Structure 1
Amino acid sequence: MGIDFFNRLEKILVYKEGVLRAVHKPLYLLYCIAAVQRDEPRLQEYRTIAPILEKALRLFGPRTDKVHPEYPFWRLQNDKLTEVVADGPLETRSGSNDPKKVYYYHKMHVVVFSKLTTNYLLAT
Structure 2
Amino acid sequence: MNSGDDVLGALRNLKTHIKDRRPSRHKPITLLWAIGRLAAEQERTEDHLVGWQTFRDEVGPLLRDFGLPDSSVTPQYPFWHLRSSGLWDVEGIETRGSTPTPSQLTAAGARAGFSKDAADVLRRSLARAEAVGLICSTHLPDVDREALLERVGLAGYASASGELPGRDGSVPRRRHTSFRPDRDSRLVREIKKMYRHVCQVCGERVETRDGHYSEAAHIRGLGRPHRGPDQLSNLLCLCPNHHIEFDKFAIYIEEDWTVRRNSTGAVAHELKLHAGHVIDQDHIRYHRALCGRG
Query: Fold-level match, TM-score > 0.5?
Result: yes
What are structure 2's unaligned runs of at least 5 residues? 126-294
Percent identical across equivalent pairs?
A: 24
SS of aligned partner of 2:87: coil
Write the distance in 1 (CA, Å) between the matches of 2:49 and 2:11.
21
Write the distance in 1 (CA, Å) between the matches of 2:95 and 2:21.
33
Write the distance in 2 (CA, Å) between the matches of 1:72 and 1:111.
10
Q: Which residue of 2 aligns with 1:109?
A: 110
The Cα shift of 1:123 comes to 2.9
Which structure is higher in helix share? 1
Write the distance in 1 (CA, Å) between the matches of 2:112 and 2:72.
25
Instruction: Report the structure number with the largest CA radius of gyration.
Output: 2
Distance 1:89 1:16, change over 3 A: closer
Q: Is 1:17 the equivalent of 2:19?
A: yes
Q: TM-score, normalised by structure 1?
A: 0.84
Q: Which residue of 2 aligns with 1:33?
A: 35
Moved more, 6-15 or 106-115: 106-115
Write the distance in 2 (CA, Å) between the matches of 1:6 and 1:36.
16
Distance 1:7 1:89, change over 3 A: closer
Write the distance in 2 (CA, Å) between the matches of 1:53 and 1:100.
16
Q: TM-score, normalised by structure 2?
A: 0.38
Write the distance in 1 (CA, Å) between the matches of 2:71 and 2:15.
23
Q: Is 1:66 the equivalent of 2:72?
A: yes
Write the distance in 2 (CA, Å) between the matches of 1:10 and 1:81.
12
- Which structure has more RCO (C-alpha within 8 Å, separation ≥ 6)? 1
Amino acid of the structure 1 residue aligned with 2:13: K
| Deviation >6 Å, runs of 4+ | none
CA contact (8 A) 2:29 2:62 kept: yes
Distance 1:111 1:101, change over 3 A: closer
The two structures, once aligned, show a CA RMSD in angstroms of 2.1
Write the distance in 1 (CA, Å) between the matches of 2:109 and 2:95.
9
SS of aligned partner of 1:76: helix
What are structure 1's unaligned runs of at least 5 residues? none
Write the distance in 2 (CA, Å) between the matches of 1:29 and 1:67.
16
Q: Any idea what the Cα deviations from partners look like across 1:42-87, whole Å, max 9, x if unmatched?
A: 121110111221111111112237311110111111111110001x
CA contact (8 A) 1:14 1:25 kept: yes
